Amino acid sequence: MEKHAVQLRGSTADDSRLRAFFKVLSRQKMLMLMSLPFLAWVIVFKYVPLWGWTIAFQKYKLARDLFDQTWVGLDNFAFLFREEQFYLVLRNTLVMSSVNLVLGFVTAILLALLLNELRRVYFKRTVQTISYLPHFISWVVAANIVQTALAPEGIFNVLLLQLNIIDKPVLWLGVGEYFWGILGATEVWKNVGWNTIIYLAAITTIDPTQYEAAEIDGASRLQRMWHITLPGIKPVIVILLIMNLGHILESGFEPQYLLGNGMNVEYSENLDIFVLKYGIQMNNFGLATAAGMFKTVVSFIFLIVANNLAKRLGESRLY
Amino acid sequence: MRKKKWLNTSLAVITAVSLLLAGCSSNNNDGGSKTNTNANDSTDGNAVDNTDPVTFSYFGFGTNIDVMASETTIGKILQEQTGVDWKMEYVVGDPSTKAGVMIAGGEYPDVISPVGELSKLLNAGAYIPLNDLIEKHGPNIKRVYGEYMDKITHEDGNIYILPFTANVGGYLNDPDAGSNIWIQRRVLKEFGYPEVKTLDQYFDLIVKYQEKYPSVDGKETVGFVTFAGEQGQFYTITNAPMHLAGYPNDGNVLVDMETHEAKLYMATEHEKRWLKKLNEMNAKGLVDPETFTANGDQFKAKLTSGRVLGFVGYIWQMADAMNNLKTAGNDDLRYVSLPIVFDESITDAYMDPPSFVNNRGLGISVSAKDPVRIIKYWDNLLKEENQRLVQWGEEGVTYSVNEEGRFIMSAEQLANRNDNEFKRKYGWAYFDYEWPRYGDNSVYEDGNAHLPARQPEVANVNYTDGDRELLNAYGIETFSGFFAQPVERPWYPAWSIEKEQGSPEQIFNQKAGDLQQKFYPKLVFATEAQFESVWNDYLAEFGKLDAAGFEKFMTDKVKARIAGVW
């Protein structure tokens, strides 16, 4: 970018500036071509559906034209923001996704660092495979495994009883306060291996000579991790953090839906389940869309704030 | 030049996108215009019946396994009569989402059994009116549904679906009716088959039994469970106060026999009494701690383990578990449901009064290729001989007729009739319910019952020695002997009153249900000292809902039904 900017500044007439632009364009023809399908994808799947936002201002009925719909102004938003339940599910959503965000980052980075230090390739591969596996299990199955393990006669209670940590079985999924912790742990179990991939990839780009130099200078293993590996993957961490903050209102749907029950509903019900119950299942698509719009706006704010923060701190960022 | 190319590309993308959009919307238009034309498709009603082979599509919002009708014995026989085969498909996953997708796509299967999605599909104009088709091609349809015409006619004067509950030729009660409160038979046996009528008596028996046998075969006995762990099954526990107060299943209201006022029983003394009792039982350690968290499989596993002494649940929620226990052969571990009410003075209403459920049925969609063929197939299906086929099967194969002309089944034939695998292969699993049909209480012209299970001769074959011992001990002939005879309730069942999508009534239902899900566990597991304060919290939350509006809506609908407007 810098180089092109210099070129452009060099030319005086509009015409020559344009010519320079097309010169660069033709040089990067292949790159342009390669990005074309993705551009089309973004337009078709991300921009075209924005039309659907009009639904938020209608009492929407399926299979009818735009002109046959009843327009209701901000009624759907009013319903949403007046609903007590909405604030409860908003709290749950924010807490659960923050828990997932923090736990997800810390555990994945930690595991990636540890894996990177392993010398024996077979052992490393085995650990990687085992930690990836749960990622590929469907949530329906995973939730059943968790339910069974946490049942009064499940392995978890049996173990804790044997170790004398508890004196009678605990109904883990029956205590609302435990739910966030259980969900966080389940997410870590399921996704930690998968999340390490990107960090491991980032680590491989670090110049090995840095490690050699550090070793000669007498840096210990921990010091090398702290002073070389972590700074080396910092840009990746920051970018991922910014992007994930953009998803702060997406705490997931399946695990909460499948692990939730009457006893933990005050803690397990999130925005997506609320939208399913009051929006989609009642054919109230206007409300569902309004909630979706709200989510998008909040995500947008988070994304911009995080990016500006990164900019101010002189870190790598999205734009 | 290059710039133009760039422009062209983006133009192409935009054109492609708009084509896509246009494609979607033109589909919708198709769906709309067909509504108007299809009913007039039937040009010549008197033509000779066409039996060219043809395959139509059937979609059910109930649970079943997909099949080609001709792969089943019954489907094959019907195909030979009419030339029509069916590709039968059933919903997988969330029905309301599926219905939404179907409507948004504007493409429907030929016929749809909507189960709970009727109002959605009607709203979208997915069904064609059947009035003219029935008039021209449906002599048998008219015979069966004739006296229910006003009940099957929608507010706009059209008939969209043919329900499953049109009783023909008399009214036969189920010989093996049940309630939703069950007790293990060994408990009754232990105490010499006592009379159990009230909720207190019922729980006293369980308390006494568990004191005597805290564990059986090394396994701890479980006093009491409910099937309330799954979100969709929560009504199991919320419906109980209605039955205990002596009312049949009208959903979430009690309808007064005199004034016909529909009153919610949520947050009333009835509900409090039920929850207070569960709370007491919990203090005694009798309520299974997993009662609000166990999923369906876990619940059924508990029942089949034989450790549970009592539970609440409707037979259709756990029939397979009951069947497994029967097959296992130990009658002591099986369960029996009893006519439990709050007080001796209350008459139970567990046996269903004659009822007509008009929001379940089968209808023809606007996408149907040949509605006339379909209506003729249905008409043929409603001939008495074919109704016999879909319930009893073929004479000499799946049932026999004795000298008095009564239909009977041998033990083996009956076992087949009840066996899930055999039912699929033979086709009962596909044809004995979600089609235009005689109602369950129907009687044939020759006096035989329409449902084999309602034929006393067959019910008798079904009983095990343990069943007979139990029935003898109580001096009754069949399990229905436990229950009071049903009383006529012309609006019954109130739960089938359709609530419009997104209407205040529907939102009330959802919110009230959410509230119950939140508070029931708290109330049951609270200490006895806390109970009152939790109950008051519950009342306060309930007070925020528009209960009066909902009750008015239901009362109006009930009164309209009594006046004959369904």
> What angle, 0 to 180 degrees and rounded to 10, lies between the N-to-C axes of helices A84-117 and A179-204?
40
Q: Which residues of B touch A152 (CB under 8 A)?
A: 289-290
Looking at the structure, tell me whether residues A278 and A248 fall in a common domain.
yes
Q: Please answer whether residues B133 and B548 qualify as being in contact, where contact means their C-beta atoms are separated by less than 8 angstroms.
A: no
- Nearest CB to B17 within list A48, A173, A282: A48
Q: Does residue B260 come out as left (phi exceeding 0), alpha (psi in the -120 to 50 range) or beta?
A: left
Looking at the structure, tell me whether residues B238 and B337 fall in a common domain.
yes
pLDDT of residue A313: 82
Q: Please answer whether residues B326 and B418 qualify as being in contact, where contact means their C-beta atoms are separated by less than 8 angstroms.
A: no
- Is A284 within a domain? yes
Question: With an 8 Å Cβ cutoff, are A152 and B290 in contact?
Answer: yes
Question: With an 8 Å Cβ cutoff, are A263 and B290 in contact?
Answer: no
Domain count for chain B, please give it.
2
For residue A168, give the CATH number of its domain. Answer: 1.10.3720.10
- Is B446 within a domain? no
Domain final position from B441, B474, B491: B441
Looking at the structure, tell me whether residues B190 and B336 fall in a common domain.
yes
Q: Please answer whether residues B525 and B290 qualify as being in contact, where contact means their C-beta atoms are separated by less than 8 angstroms.
A: no
Contact pairs from chain A to chain B, CB under 8 Å? 100
- Is A5 within a domain? yes
Contact of B565 with chain A, judged by CB distance below 8 Å, is answered with no
For residue B518, give the CATH number of its domain. Answer: 3.40.190.10
d(CA B235, CA B350): 16
Looking at the structure, tell me whether residues A84 and A54 fall in a common domain.
no
SS3 A84: helix
Find the helix or strand (DSSP H, E) in which A71 lies. Answer: strand A70-71
Looking at the structure, tell me whether residues B303 and B411 fall in a common domain.
no
Looking at the structure, tell me whether residues A168 and A308 fall in a common domain.
yes
Looking at the structure, tell me whether residues B267 and B337 fall in a common domain.
yes
pLDDT of residue B44: 42
pLDDT of residue B283: 94
Q: Which residues of B touch A170 (CB under 8 A)?
A: none
pLDDT of residue A13: 63
Contact of B15 with chain A, judged by CB distance below 8 Å, is answered with no
Question: What does the CA dihedral A17, A20, A24, A29 come to, rounded to 10 degrees?
Answer: 100
pLDDT of residue B14: 52
pLDDT of residue B48: 53
Q: Is residue B390 predicted with pLDDT exceeding 90?
A: yes
Looking at the structure, tell me whether residues B295 and B210 fall in a common domain.
yes
d(CA B296, CA B314): 13
Contact of A17 with chain B, judged by CB distance below 8 Å, is answered with no
Looking at the structure, tell me whether residues B192 and B335 fall in a common domain.
yes
pLDDT of residue B2: 46
Confidence label for A168 from pLDDT (cuts 50, 70 and 90): confident
Looking at the structure, tell me whether residues A46 and A136 fall in a common domain.
no
- Is B231 within a domain? yes
Looking at the structure, tell me whether residues A232 and A86 fall in a common domain.
yes
Distance from CA of A9 to the nearest CA of B (A): 21
d(CA A96, CA A87): 14
* B182 closest CA partner among B313, B275, B294: B313
Looking at the structure, tell me whether residues A196 and A225 fall in a common domain.
yes
- Is B33 within a domain? no
Domain final position from B422, B441, B460: B441
pLDDT of residue A3: 47
Alpha helices (H) in B124-268, listed in sequence order: 131-137, 139-145, 149-152, 185-190, 199-212, 235-238, 240-244
What mean pLDDT is predicted for residues B150-175? 89
Which residues are CB-neighbours of A121 under 8 A, at least 6 positions away? none
Domain final position from A41, A73, A105: A73
Looking at the structure, tell me whether residues B345 and B402 fall in a common domain.
no
What mean pLDDT is predicted for residues B443-460? 90
Q: Is residue A122 predicted with pLDDT exceeding 90?
A: yes
Q: Which two tokens stand for residue B125?
A: 């104009």
Core vs surface per residue B194-231: b (16+ CB within 10 A) or e: eebbbbeebbebbbebbeeeeeeeeeebbbbbbbbbbb
- Is B6 within a domain? no
Looking at the structure, tell me whether residues B294 and B188 fall in a common domain.
yes
Q: Please answer whether residues B479 and B471 qualify as being in contact, where contact means their C-beta atoms are separated by less than 8 angstroms.
A: yes
* A301 closest CA partner among A237, A250, A245, A251: A245
Contact of B17 with chain A, judged by CB distance below 8 Å, is answered with yes
Q: Is residue B38 predicted with pLDDT exceeding 80?
A: no
Contact of A171 with chain B, judged by CB distance below 8 Å, is answered with yes
What mean pLDDT is predicted for residues A110-125? 91
Q: Is residue A309 predicted with pLDDT exceeding 70?
A: yes
Q: Which of B18, B236, B293, B298 to mutate to test the interface with A (most CBs of A within 10 A)?
A: B293
- Nearest CB to A262 within list B17, B289, B292: B292
Q: Is residue B108 predicted with pLDDT exceeding 80?
A: yes
- Nearest CB to A263 within list B292, B298, B510: B292
Looking at the structure, tell me whether residues A273 and A181 fall in a common domain.
yes
What mean pLDDT is predicted for residues A236-259? 89
- Is B516 within a domain? yes
Looking at the structure, tell me whether residues A235 and A297 fall in a common domain.
yes
- Asked which of A274-278, B92-96, B235-239, B541-545 is least confident by mean pLDDT, the reply is B92-96
Written in H, E and C, the secondary structure of B416-453 is: HHHCHHHHHHHCHHHHCCCCCCECCCCECCCCCECCHH
For residue range B521-543, list pLDDT tens digits in order: 999 999 999 999 999 999 999 99
Instruction: Tell which B residues from 358 to 387 touch A, by Cβ distance under 8 Å.
Output: none
Question: With an 8 Å Cβ cutoff, are B2 and A25 in contact?
Answer: yes
Decide the pairing of beta strands B181-184 and B361-364.
Answer: unpaired
Contact of B290 with chain A, judged by CB distance below 8 Å, is answered with yes
Percent of chain A with pLDDT over 70: 96
Domain that holds residue A197: 74-312
Residue found under tokens 């979706």: A292
- Is B122 within a domain? yes
pLDDT of residue B272: 96
Domain final position from A46, A73, A100: A73
Q: Report chain A's C-alpha Rg in angstroms.
A: 25
Confidence label for A1 from pLDDT (cuts 50, 70 and 90): very low
Instruction: Find the closest chain A residue to B126 by CA distance.
Output: A63
- Is A317 within a domain? no
What mean pLDDT is predicted for residues B200-210? 95
Q: Is residue A86 predicted with pLDDT exceeding 70?
A: yes
What mean pLDDT is predicted for residues B301-324? 90
Domain count for chain A, please give it.
2
- Is B548 within a domain? yes
What mean pLDDT is predicted for residues B490-503? 86
pLDDT of residue B10: 53
- Is A319 within a domain? no
d(CA B61, CA A318): 47
pLDDT of residue A142: 94
What mean pLDDT is predicted for residues A77-86? 90
Domain final position from A73, A92, A124: A73
Question: With an 8 Å Cβ cutoff, are A43 and B17 in contact?
Answer: yes
Cis peptide, bond prior to residue B493, ω within 30 of zero = yes
Contact of A283 with chain B, judged by CB distance below 8 Å, is answered with yes
Domain that holds residue B399: 54-169+357-441
Contact of A32 with chain B, judged by CB distance below 8 Å, is answered with no
Contact of A315 with chain B, judged by CB distance below 8 Å, is answered with no
Q: Is residue B201 predicted with pLDDT exceeding 90?
A: yes
Between vectors from CA A29 to CA A25 and to CA A33, what angle results, nearest 5°?
A: 125
Q: Is residue B33 predicted with pLDDT exceeding 80?
A: no
Please provide the average confidence, as pLDDT, over all residues in chain B: 88
- Quick one: CA dihedral B135, B141, B144, B145, positive or negative? negative
Confidence label for B12 from pLDDT (cuts 50, 70 and 90): low
- Is A151 within a domain? yes
Question: With an 8 Å Cβ cutoff, are B510 and A284 in contact?
Answer: no
Contact of A62 with chain B, judged by CB distance below 8 Å, is answered with yes
Question: With an 8 Å Cβ cutoff, are B229 and A261 in contact?
Answer: yes
Looking at the structure, tell me whether residues B221 and B291 fall in a common domain.
yes
What mean pLDDT is predicted for residues A221-247? 90
Question: With an 8 Å Cβ cutoff, are B231 and A261 in contact?
Answer: yes
For residue range B47-86, list pLDDT tens digits in order: 457 788 999 999 999 888 999 999 999 999 999 999 999 9
Question: With an 8 Å Cβ cutoff, are B289 and A260 in contact?
Answer: no
pLDDT of residue A41: 95
d(CA B485, CA B347): 10
* B546 closest CA partner among B516, B515, B505, B487: B505
Looking at the structure, tell me whether residues A53 and A178 fall in a common domain.
no
What mean pLDDT is predicted for residues B220-225? 92
Looking at the structure, tell me whether residues A145 and A48 fall in a common domain.
no
pLDDT of residue B358: 87
Q: Is residue B548 predicted with pLDDT exceeding 50?
A: yes
Q: Is residue B410 predicted with pLDDT exceeding 80?
A: yes
Give me the half-sphere count of Cα atoms (radius 13 Å) on the Cβ side of residue B410: 7
Confidence label for A318 from pLDDT (cuts 50, 70 and 90): confident
* A278 closest CA partner among A88, A48, A139, A47: A88
Looking at the structure, tell me whether residues A122 and A239 fall in a common domain.
yes
d(CA B282, CA A110): 45
What mean pLDDT is predicted for residues B410-438? 92
Name the more confident of B161 and A313. Answer: B161
Looking at the structure, tell me whether residues B324 and B377 fall in a common domain.
no
Q: Which residues of A touch B94 (CB under 8 A)?
A: 281
Looking at the structure, tell me whether residues A94 and A1 fall in a common domain.
no
Q: CA A226 → CA A219, A221, A241, B370, B444, distances in Å?
A: 10, 9, 19, 74, 86
pLDDT of residue B95: 87
Kindly report the backbone phi and psi dihedral angles of residue A243, in degrees, each rounded to the nearest multiple of 5, phi listed first.
Answer: -65, -40
Domain final position from B441, B471, B489: B441
- Is B512 within a domain? yes
Q: Which two tokens stand for residue B301?
A: 């596993």
Q: Which two tokens stand for residue A143?
A: 């939730």
Name the more confident of B69 and B19. Answer: B69
Q: Is A167 exposed, middle or buried (0-12, 13-18, 19+ CB in 10 A)?
A: exposed
Q: Which two tokens stand for residue A94?
A: 């924010």
- Is A81 within a domain? yes
Looking at the structure, tell me whether residues B227 and B320 fall in a common domain.
yes
What mean pLDDT is predicted for residues A192-212? 92
Looking at the structure, tell me whether residues B328 and B383 fall in a common domain.
no
